[in-house]
Chains A and B, each alone.
Chain A
Amino acid sequence: MRFLLINHVQNAHQSLKNSRIRSALTMLGIAIGVASVTTILALSGGASKIVSDQVNSLGGNIAVIRPGVTDQSMININSQIQPNHNYATSTLTENDILSIKDTPHIQAVAPIMVLSGSIKADSMAPIGSSIVASTPQLADISDLKLSQGQFLDDSVNQNTAVIGTQLSINVFGTELSLGKTITIRGQSFVIIGVLKTTNNPINYNSIDFDNAVIINFAYGKTLNQKVTQIQQINIKADSITNLSQIIIDINKSLLKNHAGEKDFSVLTGDQIAQPTSQLFYAIAGAMTTIAAVSLVVGGIGIMNIMLVTVAERTREIGIRKALGASNSDIMSQFLIESLSLSIGGGVIGYIIGYLLAFGTSTFLTFDPIINWQIAVVAIIISAVMGTLFGLYPAIRAARKDPIESLHQYD
C-alpha cells in the first residue's frame, strides 16, 4: 500500500506536468487565497509581537491604569482605531496619583496627559504630533533614552521640553535642536533633550515618542486651564513579585477615591497589549474572511479541473480497472492529484504571501513574523481544500463502470 501511495504521487506529478498551464492556473486560485492568509497572519503576528515584546522588555513589572472600564469585546474596535487621546473627561484625578504614590513597593509613577494644540518652531509640526505632559519618571518606566541633553527632572525650569527625533526634524529641520525654542499652545519652551529614535509608534502608551514633545506634568496642567486630563498612569513595581499586591492595593485605594465607582482599570502584562493586538486580530479576522472566499473560489476551480480530468481519462480509468485497480485505487489516484494541485498552490501561496508581507512591511514600522504555525496553517488550509473539492471528482472516477469507460474514445 505504501508503494501505491508513492506511485500515486509520481503519477500525479506526471499528469500535472503534462498539462502545465492548466495546473498552474488551477493552483493560482489556491495560491492567492493562501498568500493573503499568510500575509495577514505574518503582519498581524508581527504587530502584536511588538507590543508584547515591549511589555516583556520592560521587565514585566509594569502596570497601567486607564480611565473607564476596558471593554474586552470586539465591538469596541472602532474607538480603538484612533489612539485614545480624545477622552471627553478622564476619570483619573491627581488625587489618584497621590494615592498610587503612597502604595508600598511602587518604584515609579508616571501619569500621562496628552494635550491637543499646536507645536511651532521654524515650521508648524504636522498633524499627528503629540504634546505629552508627564513626570520625570516616565523615562524610567517607558525606557526612553536620550541622544542629547537630559530628560525632565524636578530641578529644571517648568518651561523646558524634551523632543522626539522626528518631530525635531519636522519643526527645526535638524535633530540637533538642543537649546532652541519651541512654541506649544502659544507658550515658549526650551529644548533640553532630544529622545533617541524609538521607531515603534505602536506601543502601550499609544504615543509615538518620535513624534512627540514631552513637557512637565504640572506645567501641562497650567497650559490646560488648570485641568488635569490623565489618559493613563504608568506605574512600575520594585519587583515582579510585588506587582500583584500593588494592583490589589491600587484597586482598593482608587475605589475609595472614586466613591466605590469602578470607572478605571488596572492592566498588567498582556492586558496592556490587548487593545492593540485585539485591533489587529479583528482586522486579520476580516481579511481572513476575504481570503476564505478566494480559497473557496480556488477550490471550485480545482473541482472543475478535476472533473474535466476525470472525463478526459475515462478510458484510462477503464483500462486501469481492467488491469486490476480497485475502486479505492482509482479514488486515491485522483484525490492525490487534486491534493498535489492544492498543496502546490499552497506552497506557492505561502512564498508569495511572505514576499507580499515583507514588501508591505517596508512601509510599516514592524516586520512580519516568521513562525511554523503560519506554515502549518497554510499547508492545512490547502490540504483541506484539496480533499474537500477533490473528493467528489475522485468518487465519480472510482464509480465509473469499466466496460463503459473502455468504450470511450480518447
Chain B
Amino acid sequence: MSETKIPPVIRLKDLKKRFGIGDAENFALNGIDLTIKKGEFVAIMGPSGCGKTTLLNILGLLDQSIDGDYELDGQPVVSISKRRQARIRSRQIGFIFQNFNLVSRLNVIENVALPLIYKGITRTKRLIIASDILRNFHLNEREYYMPHQLSGGQIQRVAIARALVNEPSIILADEPTGNLDSRSSHVIMEELSDLHKRGNTIIMVTHNPRLTTYASRVITMTDGKIETDTKTTILKRKTSKAKHSPNPRHHNKRASKSRGNKK
C-alpha cells in the first residue's frame, strides 16, 4: 500500500467538457472520475467520438475550459497560471500525436530539440541532447533529413524522441501507431513499454485492442464516460461488488484519504 502515500499523478473528479451552448450543448466528456498513479501504463479505448482525444488534451493542459476537478500532482489545475501550465507542459509532459505533428520546415534534429528551447537551453546543448536521444532511436543517420524525407515509422520515432527529450514524467500518446503497419507499431510499442519499465507514466489512446497487451491498465470509454476500467473492476471483484459500470470514486476516496494523512 506504500504507493498510495504519494499523491496520484492525475486525479479527475466529475470532469465534464462541454461544446456549444443552449440547444446545441453537447458533452464530449460527461462526468469522468479517474485516478492515475505514477508509473502506470494506461490504455484508453473506445469508439470514435467518445472523447478520448479530448480527455488527452485536457490531461495535457491544452484545454482549460473544463467543468469539474482536475488535480495534477495533487494541485488543482485551475489554480495554476497559464505561464506555469506552459512550464509544466515543457518539463513534465511529453506529447506523442497521432499525425506526428513535426514542424515541416525544421529538420529532424531541430524538431527533436524543439521542446528544449522552452527550457532555456543553448542551441549547441540542445543539439547534443537531441542527437543523443536520436541515437537511442537509431535515427542518428537521419538527423539532417527533413520530415517529408522519412518513412511513417521513422517520423513517429522522431515524434517519440521529441516527446522524450525533456525527460517528462508523463507521456501522453494519441494513437501513436494509428498510421503505421503492424511491424512499425510493434517497434513503437516496445519503446513505450520500455519507457514504462523505467518508471514513466504513460497514457495512450488507441483503437487497436492488441496494443492493450502492453498496458498495465485498460480503460474503455463511450459517450464521454468511462465504461470499464480493468483496475477498478479487479478491485470491485475483490470487494465483490456490482459487475459493470465501475465506480472509481471508491478508489479516489482512498487516495485522497491517504494524501490527507500524509499532510
- A contact residues vs B (CB 8 Å cutoff): 1, 3-4, 6-7, 10, 14-15, 18, 315-316, 318-329, 402-403, 406, 410
Further pairs besides A6-B123, A403-B62: 7, Cβ < 8 Å: A1-B120, A18-B105, A319-B114, A320-B114, A323-B90, A326-B87, A326-B118
Interchain CB contact under 8 A, A316 and B82: no
Q: Are A402 and B62 in contact (CB under 8 A)?
A: yes
B101 close to A (CB within 8 Å): yes
Per the bound structure, the CA–CA distance linking A402 and B60 in Å amounts to 11
B117 within 8 Å of A (CB atoms): yes
Among residues 86 to 128 in chain B, which have CB atoms less than 8 Å away from a CB atom of chain A? 86-87, 89-91, 93, 95, 97, 101-105, 114-115, 117-123
Mostly, the A contact residues are helix
Picked from A3, A10, A323, A325, the residue with its CB within 8 Å of the CB of B95 is A323
Q: Are the C-beta atoms of B101 and A329 separated by less than 8 Å? A: no
Q: Are B118 and A329 in contact (CB under 8 A)?
A: yes
Q: Which residues of A contact B103 (CB under 8 A)?
A: 316, 319-320
Closest to A402 in B: B62
Task: Report the minimum CB–CB distance from B150 to chain A (whole Å).
Answer: 15
- 13 contacting pairs across A/B (C-beta < 8 A): A3-B123, A4-B117, A4-B120, A7-B117, A18-B105, A318-B101, A319-B101, A321-B86, A324-B86, A324-B90, A324-B119, A326-B118, A403-B62
- Are B104 and A329 touching (Cβ within 8 A)? no
- The reply to whether B118 and A322 form a contact with Cβ atoms under 8 Å apart is no
Contact A322 B95 (CB under 8 A): yes
Give the residue name and chain of the A residue nearest to B113 (CB). Answer: A7
Give the CA-CA distance A41 to B101 in the complex, in Å. 50
Q: How many A-B residue pairs have CB under 8 A?
A: 75
- Taking a contact as CB atoms under 8 Å apart, the answer to whether A323 and B89 are in contact is yes
Contacts of A7 in B (CB 8 A): 117, 123
Whether B86 lies near A329 (C-beta < 8 A) is yes
Structural contact, B83 and A328, CB atoms closer than 8 A: yes
Cβ contacts under 8 Å, B87 to chain A? 324, 326
Q: Which listed residue (B90, B97, B117, B162) contacts A406, Cβ 8 A?
A: B97
Please give me the residue from chain B that is nearest to A329 by CB atom: B118
The answer to whether A322 and B117 touch across the interface, beta carbons within 8 angstroms, is: no
| B97:A324 contact, CB within 8 angstroms | no
Chain B proximity of A255: nearest CB distance (Å): 73
Q: Is B193 an interface residue (CB 8 A)?
A: no
Assembled-state Cα–Cα distance A315/B118 (Å): 17
State whether B97 touches A323 (Cβ < 8 A). no
Contact partner of B91 (CB less than 8 A), chosen from A14, A18, A324, is A324
Q: Cα distance A10–B117 when bound, in Å?
A: 11
B120 touches A3 (CB 8 A): yes
| A170 CB, nearest partner CB in chain B, Å | 67
Q: Which residue of A lies closest to B62 (CB)?
A: A402
Q: Pick the contact of B101 from A6, A10, A325, A406 — CB < 8 Å?
A: A406
A410 cross-chain contacts in B, Cβ below 8 A: 104
